[in-house]
Amino acid sequence: MTKSFTLLLLCTCFVLSCTEKKQEPVEKKFIYTENAPASVGVYSQAVQLGNALYLSGQIGLVPETRELAGDDLESQTHQTLNNIEAVLEAAGFTLADVVKAQVFLDNMDDYEAFNEIYIQYFPIDPPARAVVEVSRIPLDAKVEIMVEAIK
């Protein structure tokens, strides 16, 4: 390389680095709604970062009573998904914006029963998902679901 070419290359790199747009920091917004149960532990119901929304795990607590919707998987799953809808709505999102779900069941034998309910909430193009069995869920719930949404 010649000295003049090297100098030209260095000057071009310097000019480009000086003219790059600086990215503004994305505001972190904490979401809370009374239409979903308050946290059982130390966490936010959801955190929004730009066009992405990260929901904490939800269980089937009825917001008004803070008791499980029932002892069965079906009632808890419906309530859990209703709670998720409420948090999404509080942030201006819908179930259609959900791109990923993580599901925790206390018994994998309930997988088919869970899917029958889940498909009612995600009938078309369901989000990416993982389902695992865990030994225990807070308040001895039968199901916990955590989702991420993008607008």
pLDDT value for 25: 82
Contact 144, 114 (CB under 8 A): no
Task: Give the phi and the psi of residue 28 in degrees, each rounded to 5.
Answer: -95, 125
pLDDT value for 151: 95
Specify the CATH number of the domain 25-150: 3.30.1330.40
Reported pTM: 0.84
For residue range 16-63, what is the model confidence (pLDDT) as tens digits? 555 556 677 889 999 999 999 988 889 999 999 999 999 999 999 999
Query: Identity (one letter) of the amino acid at 59?
Result: I
| Position 7 pLDDT exceeds 80 | no
pLDDT value for 23: 74
Rounded Cα distance, 105 and 75, in Å: 14
Rounded Cα distance, 136 and 80, in Å: 16
pLDDT value for 5: 46
Segments making up each domain of the chain, as ranges: 25-150
Q: Tell me what the mean pLDDT of segment 70-80 comes to.
A: 98
Q: Residue 73 corresponds to which tokens in the numbers above? A: 């998987």
Rounded Cα distance, 149 and 87, in Å: 11
| Position 9 pLDDT exceeds 70 | no
